[in-house]
Structure 1
Amino acid sequence: MFEGLIGNTNAKRRLERMFEVGRLPNALLFTGPEGVGKRSFALGVTRRAICAAGGGGACPVCERTGRFAIPPDDEKNKDDYKRVFFSEHLDVGMVVPYKRNILVDAIRDLEREAHFRPYEAETRVFIIDNAEKMNDQAANALLKTLEEPPATSHIILVTSQPDRLLPTIRSRTQAVRFGPVAANEVEEYLAGERGFSNEDARLAAIAAKGSIGSAVSLDLAAFRQRRSAMLGVLRDAAVAGDLAALLSAGEAMNDAKNKENFEPSLDILETLARDVMVLAAGGSGMIANPDITDELGEIAEAAGARRAAEWVTAIEETRTTLNVNLNKKIAADSLFVRFAGA
């Protein structure tokens, strides 16, 4: 049923058990960070639910559902997605955001379709992707369906932000939590299934922080460049306390042509600072960037554990200020002034 899907062993066992005892809930809620496999598992459950042969992939139904995929974000502005859409199997429907929101018409269409008897299988399955993007009307329409669930249909909600769903929707679904995938599993998958070199697979697994989706789509050249720049920031802060160099790095992070670089660079900086803190405290086996241990060790020796801890605190506080829309340039300048004086 879940062949080829890595990680999330507990969720996998729980879902398998539901099928073993014949008690797949009418409504499931798949939650967890982006890219950890929620959508792939939703498709796996779908395949098993409608397959008369046990979801092994050998029957014609499985072959068709194997080609069923959730559309990428850059395609979700098509008129097809204003309502429930179907791929190669009429018992498998999908609802996704149209542009920014899931529209009430799509949920009303789902409600209507869910009450139809299956065409080929014994049940019908509907996946609502990015379920947190339902507008108020759509959420209330879905609630009506969940309160009186059709006997021959199952609904799977997929979201990385379950707190944005109505509490009444959460209470009427059975939640299955998905977590980050272990770095070694991500590395093995990339090298074995995606053709990554061992070095690239290791680096992508480090950068992805447990997200298979992020690891697969990662621009490794850009990541290496950002990490090198952020390593330079810590080196300048530790060895020279060079405020001019640090402010220059802040300018680079806020380059108007690459505004999307700020948050990824801050993420990398925090990971590196935590590694320095661990090494300065005498640890070694738990760092996130083991491939540059020597460089991090030099910074740790120069900075010491106290300064490294202050860097981490400063980054965390910068994130808090950014959450209230502080100007990124002001945030970066303030952060690096603290780095220079730490």
Structure 2
Amino acid sequence: MLVGHKEKIKIFGELFRSDVLSHGYIFFGEEQVGKKSFALAFANFLEKGKFENPDGILSETKLITPEEGSIGIDTAKEAKRFLSQKPILSKRRVLIIDDAHKLTSQAQNAILKISEEPPQSSLIIVVSPTLDSLLPTLTSRLQRIYFPRVKTEEIEKLLRARGVESAEASRVAKAALGRPGRAIDTIENDEFRRFNRLVKDFIKSPSSRKDVLQSLIKENDDLKNRDLIDIFVSHIMAELALDPLKNNRTLSALCDRFTKMSDFTTNRRLQLETALWNL
């Protein structure tokens, strides 16, 4: 079920019917507001005529996601081969690149070259939380579409449709802060709920913070996946944002530090401790 962004559904439907679609778009905005879901629903619309999440395989769509934390040049080359083939079931072959901020510089340049001379029947949709992590030359070649947060009542409606009791749906929808993906994770994702509990304990019990940080860093290193740290900080920021007036100063400091964390590859332990120690 596609949640929110009704005006965009109308606009993209009209662009298709008028045959004036661009060769490529960048869908950007906060995490979990529905950018990838919208891209997949639009691909489903192009192939099957229904602007909704696909319930099966889309033959004319290729979804690219990071592997081991990045999207490399080989994947970009595969995308080029995919787009070079003519569609059979749709007017367009659709390439969706999710978490495009994790494209390597080589891969970004490869996508840039495709966008400079796109196959006539191709459509590229780049999905990213921000524009800053993408090459300016790439962002200039694609039309930029901003996705804002979704209304709380629409998220609540989604949760009730999934069988969540009304009071719980209302609570979860409010805590989601306009991000339907976060609401769904809250009710369905065990790992997400584990992080929620971890964050609540971390905020309430300063004496346990050192142990929590050390455990998290060890788990992160064992998995060879830095995303656990990003997830943890994101959960903390979301929890503090439930009371933005009270936590405004802390949120501002965390936002600044979290941005700097993405620029560090070696001293990440120090960056994490600096960001979280004085909550």
Shorter-chain-normalised TM-score: which range?
A: 0.7 to 0.9
Shift of the 257–128 alpha-carbon distance from structure 1 to 2, 3 Å rule, reads closer
Which of 175, 178, 188 in structure 1 is aligned with 2:144? 175
Matches within 5 A, 1:1-342: 4-51=1-48, 55-56=49-50, 66-68=55-57, 89=59, 91-192=60-161, 194-218=162-186, 223=196, 227=200, 230=203, 233=204, 247-248=206-207, 250-251=209-210, 254=213, 256=215, 263=233, 266-267=236-237, 270-274=240-244, 277=245, 308=246, 312-321=248-257, 323=260, 326=270, 328-329=272-273, 332-335=276-279
C-alpha deviation, 1:334, in angstroms: 3.6
Q: What SS class does the counterpart of residue 196 from structure 1 fall into?
A: coil
1:249 is displaced (CA, Å) by 5.9
Q: How many residue pairs align between the two structures?
A: 255
Q: Secondary structure of 1:163's partner?
A: coil
5+ unaligned residues in a row in structure 2: which ranges? 187-191, 220-227, 262-267
Contact 2:175–2:242 under 8 Å retained in 1? no
8 Å Cα contact 2:155/2:173 also seen in 1:
yes
Structure 1 residues 106 and 92, CA, compared in 2 at 3 Å: closer, same or farther? same
After superposition, the Cα gap between the structure-2 partners of 1:146 and 1:312, relative to the gap in structure 1 and judged at 3 Å, is: closer
- Find the aligned partners of 1:265 and 1:13 in 2 and give their Cα distance: 33
Quote the Cα distance in structure 2 between the aligned partners of 1:327 and 1:105.
Answer: 32
- Could you tell me which amino acid in structure 2 is paired with residue 45 of structure 1? F
CA deviations 1:242-279 (Å, max 9, x no partner) are xxxx64364576463698696366335533543xx4xx
Q: CA deviation at 1:48?
A: 2.0
The residue matched to 1:162 in structure 2 has which SS? Answer: coil
Deviation at 1:130, TM superposition (A): 1.7
Change (3 A) 1:220 1:200: farther
- The alpha-carbon distance between structure 1 residues 213 and 249, as it changes in their structure 2 partners (threshold 3 A), is same
Report if aligned partners of 1:25, 1:174 keep a CA contact under 8 Å in 2. yes
- AA aligned to 1:256 is S
Which one has a bigger Cα radius of gyration? 1
Change (3 A) 1:273 1:253: farther
Point out the more displaced range, 109-118 or 204-213: 109-118
Which structure has more RCO (C-alpha within 8 Å, separation ≥ 6)? 2
* Alpha-carbon contact 2:199-2:236 (below 8 Å) kept: no
TM (norm. structure 1) is: 0.63
CA RMSD between the two structures: 3.2
- Give the drift of 1:173: 0.9
Alpha carbons 1:11, 1:177 under 8 Å: kept? no
Identity of aligned residues (%): 27
**Is the Cα contact below 8 Å between 2:101 and 2:133 reproduced in 1?**
yes
For the 8 Å contact 2:3–2:154, the answer to whether it is kept is: yes
**CA–CA separation in structure 1 for the residues paired with 2:93 and 2:38:** 16
Q: TM-score, normalised by structure 2?
A: 0.76
Q: Aligned partners of 2:139 and 2:70: how far apart in 1? A: 19
| Residue identity opposite 2:166 in structure 1 | N
Distance 1:320 1:120 in 2: 47
Deviations 1:180-223 (A, max 9, x none): 1111211111012x111222212221222211111111156874
